[in-house]
């Protein structure tokens, strides 16, 4: 069995309450950090752990903390990003629902490390039940002396507040999140200045994903080096993978970095294979933004090596034959799914969620949606495929925030790996209305 | 719709404002708009103007936020708004079928209100529950329903109708 650092006690009845969580060793990291470590010691352990941001970008958390400016007399903030909205991703909702105190414990340890005395947990507004759960956990921790003034008699003060979002994918982008937290529209800011220098209210700020903050608890408890022993290369520790789509057992799994994708999909310990006895057609490994891969490239790299669930292995082959870890939002497509329809769906999503600041994203996502709609409903021309390619290329890298890139990559990878399916939709529009293309290797093109 | 915020609601506003540093009360805007919508079902211009006055900001600052975030309703909706996830992963497991079923069952198009004033429905984007799709949520507490089937939807709608009658 794989080691579990975050979800070890997830099945314990009542683990969402302070008392049970505490009985299972909860809040030891707070005691250890506040009583026997300096803030810099905590930062050092997180650096040693090799923890990389679990929200999607994979930036080393310790390094991000190291960038935090510390001018005299200016407050510093920790903001937790619980705006989980990336299609395919539902690990943070799971964590906040079932083991909220792990997040609160991580928030205390991380806030201490950064010298923050007021911290915010930004949770997407639709997760009202989770907002209630986390608020209750904060109240319980406060009643037990782990929050508020002079925590555990150490002289350290901390308040944590929950902030609801309003239904906007873009607020998962850290500067848009800060705008939203300031009561503004969620328009991403131009960087630099980075939040580490000028973030919330213009003060130095660190924004970390829910899972990243939770991971600081085992890191403080066991030490960064122990954490780094799990995994391969620069992919250390465990990762929550939220698996959805056509799987026998979709759900949230904690894996050790380095597990093979094949084992993850097919083994009984994890997803148990493809549902309804169907065959696997494609995989989106890290949330809708990362390139979609056909089965052969999902299970093995272009070099023929097993594809592993690590940042490096998933990215092997770049965007030509590889993909990315992203947020760990794993989506499996069975042979009955239509790639054109799914690409249209994702593109409609990005068009809907574009904040509208940058014209390549605002206009481009809409154009792509229209062209894909045309192809899906049987009115496409062969030149539309090149047009789509052209539009996505003109979005990628040309916007303030990565939403533009996130909209471009699914389209680029769908065309790259499933071009035949797009062509079939265009050449056989009537047939495409009545059945799906099936697996690439078996797709029947016009026999003439 | 002209509104008068009740004393208990104003108390909640006051608590929210304490979460932020002095002079940063605008941060309270989203939480307060959620409270107002939970109370009245939607955000009327008058309600938004009164929120602006409360937070000592200009009305336009409230409008621009209320129009940006999709959770805020700028016109009256049904008592129960069924919001169904329409994004990729849920569609792989039948969300489109469920939306069609809801439209047929309620007899109104997306965004419209049933004649009895009880129901509206709409497709919303990924709700971060992709392993349990198809899913829907109902405000203001955003109660969550997962692994939907046509039968479960029928049952839910019937239950809500009964609940509305008994109240």
Q: How many domains does chain B have?
A: 2
Tens of pLDDT, residues A305-362: 999 999 999 999 999 999 999 999 999 999 999 999 999 999 999 999 999 999 999 9
Nearest to B130 among A75, A88, A184 (CB): A88
CATH architecture of A339-438: Up-down Bundle (1.20)
Token pair 């984007």 is found at B125
Instruction: Return the biggest CA–CA distance within chain B.
Output: 52
The pLDDT > 70 percentage for chain A reads 98
The residue extents of the domains of chain A are 18-229, 232-334, 339-438
How far is A282 from chain B, CA to nearest CA, in Å? 12
Tens of pLDDT, residues A130-169: 999 999 999 999 999 999 999 999 999 999 999 999 999 9
Please report which residue ranges of A281-381 form alpha helices under DSSP H. Answer: 295-299, 311-315, 318-321, 339-353, 359-376
What does the mean pLDDT of chain A come to?
Answer: 96
Q: Which pLDDT score, from 0 to 100, does residue A441 have? A: 60
Q: Examine the domain organization and report whether B92 and B156 are in the same domain.
A: yes
Q: Examine the domain organization and report whether B104 and B160 are in the same domain.
A: yes
Q: Examine the domain organization and report whether B35 and B56 are in the same domain.
A: yes
Residue A444 in this model has a pLDDT that exceeds 80: no
Nearest to B68 among A185, A244, A331 (CB): A185
**Partners of A164 in the β-ladder:** A123
CA separation (Å) from A192 to A55, A317, A354? 20, 30, 21
CB-based contact (8 Å) between B141 and chain A? yes
DSSP at B25: G
pTM for this prediction: 0.96
Identify whether the C-beta of residue A436 lies closer than 8 Å to the C-beta of residue A337.
yes
Identify whether the C-beta of residue A249 lies closer than 8 Å to the C-beta of residue A79.
no
Residue A448 in this model has a pLDDT that exceeds 70: no
User: What's the mean pLDDT in A238-253?
Assistant: 97
Task: Indicate the fold that domain A18-229 takes in CATH.
Answer: Rossmann fold (3.40.50)
Asked if residue B75 belongs to a domain, the reply is no
Q: Examine the domain organization and report whether B61 and B28 are in the same domain.
A: yes
CA separation (Å) from A269 to A2, A237, A250, B15? 9, 19, 12, 46
Q: Which pLDDT score, from 0 to 100, does residue A440 have? A: 64
Read off φ and ψ for residue A163, nearest 5 degrees: -120, 125
Domain that holds residue B34: 7-68
Cis peptide before A261 (omega within 30 of 0): no
Q: Please tell me the least confidently modeled range out of A294-298, A436-440, B47-51, B79-83.
A: A436-440
> What is the spatial distance between Cα A441 and Cα A110, in angstroms, rounded to a whole number?
50
**Residue A142, class by beta-carbon neighbours within 10 Å (0-12 exposed, 13-18 middle, 19+ buried)?**
middle
CB-based contact (8 Å) between A74 and chain B? no
> What is the spatial distance between Cα B28 and Cα B18, in angstroms, rounded to a whole number?
9
User: What's the mean pLDDT in A363-375?
Assistant: 98
Asked if residue B2 belongs to a domain, the reply is no
User: What's the mean pLDDT in A410-436?
Assistant: 95
CATH of domain A232-334: 3.10.20.600
Tens of pLDDT, residues A197-226: 999 999 999 999 999 999 999 999 999 999
CB-based contact (8 Å) between B18 and chain A? no
Q: Examine the domain organization and report whether B58 and B108 are in the same domain.
A: no
Asked if residue B21 belongs to a domain, the reply is yes
User: What's the mean pLDDT in B9-23?
Assistant: 98
In sequence order, the 6+-apart residues with CB closer than 8 A to the CB of A23 are: none
Q: Examine the domain organization and report whether B84 and B161 are in the same domain.
A: yes
Read off φ and ψ for residue A233, nearest 5 degrees: 50, -130
Q: Examine the domain organization and report whether B13 and B62 are in the same domain.
A: yes
Residue A115, Ramachandran bin (φ over 0: left; ψ between -120 and 50: alpha; else beta): left
Identify whether the C-beta of residue A61 lies closer than 8 Å to the C-beta of residue A208.
yes
In this structure, what CATH number is given to the domain that contains residue B113? 3.40.30.10
Q: Examine the domain organization and report whether B23 and B95 are in the same domain.
A: no
**Partners of B83 in the β-ladder:** B122, B137
DSSP at A24: T
Asked if residue B49 belongs to a domain, the reply is yes
> How many whole angstroms from its chain centre is CA A153?
36
Residue B27 in this model has a pLDDT that exceeds 50: yes
Q: Which pLDDT score, from 0 to 100, does residue A239 have? A: 98
Residue A445 in this model has a pLDDT that exceeds 90: no
Residue A442 in this model has a pLDDT that exceeds 80: no
Q: Examine the domain organization and report whether B91 and B140 are in the same domain.
A: yes
């Amino acid at each position: 069995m794989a080691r579990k650092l975050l979800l070890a006690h997830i099945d314990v009845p009542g683990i969402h309450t302070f008392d049970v969580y505490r009985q299972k060793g909860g809040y030891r990291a707070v005691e250890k950090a506040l009583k026997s470590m300096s803030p810099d010691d905590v930062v050092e352990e997180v650096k040693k752990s090799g923890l990389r941001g679990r929200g999607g970008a994979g930036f080393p958390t310790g390094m991000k903390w190291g960038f935090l400016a510390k001018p005299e007399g200016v407050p510093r903030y920790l903001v937790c990003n619980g705006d989980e909205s990336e299609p395919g991703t539902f690990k943070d909702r799971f964590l906040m629902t079932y083991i909220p105190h792990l997040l609160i414990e991580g928030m205390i340890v991380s806030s201490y490390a950064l010298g923050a005395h007021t911290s915010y947990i930004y949770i997407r507004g639709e997760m009202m039940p989770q907002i209630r759960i986390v608020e209750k956990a904060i109240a319980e921790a406060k009643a037990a002396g782990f929050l508020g003034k002079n925590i555990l008699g150490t002289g350290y003060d901390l308040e944590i507040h929950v902030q609801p979002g309003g239904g906007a994918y873009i607020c998962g982008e850290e500067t848009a999140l800060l705008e939203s937290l300031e009561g503004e529209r969620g328009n991403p800011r131009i960087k630099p200045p980075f939040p580490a220098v000028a973030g919330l209210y213009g003060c130095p700020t660190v924004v970390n994903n829910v899972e990243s903050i939770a991971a600081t608890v085992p890191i403080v408890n066991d030490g960064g080096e122990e954490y780094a022993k799990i995994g391969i290369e620069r992919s250390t520790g465990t990762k929550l993978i939220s698996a959805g789509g056509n799987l026998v057992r979709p759900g949230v799994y904690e894996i050790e970095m380095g597990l093979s994708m094949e084992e993850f999909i097919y083994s009984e310990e994890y997803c148990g294979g493809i549902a309804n006895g169907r065959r696997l057609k494609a995989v989106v490994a890290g949330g809708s933004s990362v390139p979609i891969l056909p089965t052969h490239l999902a299970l093995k790299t272009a070099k023929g090596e097993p594809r592993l669930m690590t940042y490096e292995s998933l990215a092997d082959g770049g965007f030509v034959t590889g993909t990315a870890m992203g947020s760990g939002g794993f989506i499996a497509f069975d042979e009955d799914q239509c790639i054109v329809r799914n690409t249209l769906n994702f593109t409609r999503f990005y068009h809907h969620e574009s904040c509208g600041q940058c014209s390549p994203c605002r206009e481009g996502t809409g154009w792509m949606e229209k062209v894909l709609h045309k192809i899906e409903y049987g009115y496409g021309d062969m030149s539309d495929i090149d047009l789509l390619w052209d539009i996505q290329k003109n979005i990628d890298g040309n916007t303030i925030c990565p939403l533009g890139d996130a909209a471009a990559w699914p389209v680029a990878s769908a065309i790259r790996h499933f071009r035949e399916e797009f062509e079939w939709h265009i050449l056989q529009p009537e047939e495409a209305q009545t059945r799906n293309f099936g697996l690439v290797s078996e797709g029947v093109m016009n026999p003439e | 719709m002209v509104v008068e915020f009740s004393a208990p609601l104003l108390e909640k506003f006051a608590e929210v404002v304490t979460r932020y540093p002095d002079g940063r009360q605008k941060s309270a805007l989203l939480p307060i708009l959620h409270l107002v919508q939970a109370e009245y079902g939607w955000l009327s211009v008058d309600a938004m103007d009164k929120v602006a006055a409360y937070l000592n900001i200009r009305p336009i600052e409230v409008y621009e936020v209320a129009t940006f975030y999709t959770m805020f309703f700028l016109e009256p909706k049904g008592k129960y708004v069924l919001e169904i996830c329409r994004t990729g992963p849920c569609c792989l497991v039948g969300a489109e079928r469920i939306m069609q079923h809801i439209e047929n069952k309620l007899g109104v198009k997306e965004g419209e209100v049933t004649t009895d004033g009880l129901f509206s429905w709409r497709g919303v984007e990924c709700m971060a529950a992709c392993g349990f799709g198809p899913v829907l949520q109902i405000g203001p507490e955003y109660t969550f329903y997962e692994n939907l089937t046509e039968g479960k939807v029928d049952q839910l709608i019937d239950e809500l109708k009964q609940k509305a009658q008994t109240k």
